[in-house]
Amino acid sequence: MSVQVSLAGPDVTLGMSGEDAGDIVARSPTALFWRRFREDRVAVASLIFIVVLVIIAVAAPLVVKLFGLPGPYVQNLNLTNAFGEPLGPSAAHPFGVDGLGEDIASRVIYGSRVSLEVGVIGTGIATVIGVIVGLLAGFYRGWVDTVLSRLTDLVLCFPTLLFGIGLASACALNGCFYGLIQPGVPVIIAIVVIFGWTYIARIVRGLVLSLREKEFVEAARSLGASDARIMFREILPNLAAPVIVYASLLIPVNILFEAALSFLGVGVQPPTASWGQMIAQATPIFNIAWWWMVFPGAALLLTVLAFNLLGDGLQDALNPKAD
């Protein structure tokens, strides 16, 4: 039996010839990640769902046209009965219509835009802020850590939903901060950012506190690396996995937060389609117009579930030892 070794690069392949030959392949961390991720069919299905959702959201006008649906803001009161109540699913309107005769399938499709905007953009900005705050607090410790940690605790004390309702109401007509934050989706993103960075900051701070004591940090320091280089070139790459996992779990939380604000009437304003707002409008007539609540509710459920399962899958793939 002979052993063939190729040392050409990262993809090191060790092969064994002979009757008992089998390939033992050493892979890069990325390759390992994908292999473990691919094995998790639930996570893959969730990822596919999210990718399709993003495509639908981005190409919403095209999707609506492709299915032959009317636009989300096209009112048609001929599709309501004599009491102003909407008619149910039909061939022309597979998800039925709402109280203004607007097509619900179309509005569910457009509603994905709001959910993804708030979920992804809000989480993205909150993540950046949280990572920076956590990094600075954990690395410098001392008074920097004290100030930033107390600030984090202070923001955590705020009743998020109540404050969100108040801020959204106050900014509803003319926006806030001299028009810097406009009513509608920008206000909700601002609320998500203001309150969303704290959890990531805490997690990152804890990780940085332990990473800063590692030998590679000491080695970098002894080679004369600046604090900024150590933080962003040495420590930050090691935070990527947990931050990505946490951010992916934060997205559905923020999607639900937007739905809750819209349900309470302080989120996205009509006629902009929002799943939470559609559920709120359907509530008084839930017993006779079930479609108005069920379809946006299903979309919300499946989206939140997909992100949660994706986050779970990412955690397993990035950190299998956690099992």
The only residue of 79, 131, 247, 256 in contact with other proteins, by rule CB under 8 A: 79
Work out whether 49 is an interface residue with other proteins (CB under 8 A): no
Query: Which residues are registered as beta bridge partners of 15?
Result: 4
Work out whether 162 is an interface residue with other proteins (CB under 8 A): no
CA distance 196 to 136: 18
- DSSP structure string for 129-190: HHHHHHHHHHHH-HHHHHHHHHHHHHHHHS-HHHHHHHHHHHTTTT-BTTTTB-TTHHHHHH
The token duo for 203 is 């997690």
Least distance (Å) from other proteins to the CB of residue 32? 17
Residue 227 and residue 139 in contact, taking contact as beta carbons nearer than 8 Å: yes
Least distance (Å) from other proteins to the CB of residue 244? 17
The only residue of 70, 99, 242, 252 in contact with other proteins, by rule CB under 8 A: 99
| Interface of this chain with other proteins, residues 282 to 311, rule: CB under 8 A | 284-291, 293-294, 298, 301, 305, 309
**Three-state DSSP state, 218:** helix
Work out whether 117 is an interface residue with other proteins (CB under 8 A): no
CA distance 272 to 137: 40
Work out whether 240 is an interface residue with other proteins (CB under 8 A): no
Q: How many residues bind other proteins (CB under 8 A)?
A: 43
Query: Which residues are registered as beta bridge partners of 86?
Result: 80
Residue 292 and residue 278 in contact, taking contact as beta carbons nearer than 8 Å: yes
Least distance (Å) from other proteins to the CB of residue 92? 14
The only residue of 25, 42, 48, 219 in contact with other proteins, by rule CB under 8 A: 42
Of 30 and 78, nearer to other proteins (C-beta) is 78
Work out whether 84 is an interface residue with other proteins (CB under 8 A): yes
| Interface of this chain with other proteins, residues 262 to 281, rule: CB under 8 A | 265, 269-271, 281
The only residue of 12, 32, 54, 87 in contact with other proteins, by rule CB under 8 A: 87
Least distance (Å) from other proteins to the CB of residue 15? 30
CA distance 1 to 12: 19
Residue 119 and residue 53 in contact, taking contact as beta carbons nearer than 8 Å: no
Least distance (Å) from other proteins to the CB of residue 110? 15
Long-range contacts of the stretch 1-6 (C-beta < 8 A, 24+) = none
| Interface of this chain with other proteins, residues 164 to 193, rule: CB under 8 A | 169, 172-173, 183
Residue 48 and residue 38 in contact, taking contact as beta carbons nearer than 8 Å: no
Least distance (Å) from other proteins to the CB of residue 108? 14
Q: Find the length of the chain.
A: 323
- Compute the C-alpha angle 106/281/122, nearest 5°: 70
Least distance (Å) from other proteins to the CB of residue 223? 41
Letter for the amino acid at 63? V
Under DSSP, the state recorded for 86 is B
Which residues have C-beta within 8 Å of that of residue 29, sequence separation ≥ 6? none
Work out whether 253 is an interface residue with other proteins (CB under 8 A): no
Work out whether 236 is an interface residue with other proteins (CB under 8 A): no
The only residue of 48, 52, 59, 77 in contact with other proteins, by rule CB under 8 A: 77
CA distance 175 to 169: 10
- The residues binding other proteins (CB under 8 A) are 40-42, 73, 75, 77-85, 87, 99-100, 169, 172-173, 183, 265, 269-271, 281, 284-291, 293-294, 298, 301, 305, 309, 312, 316, 323
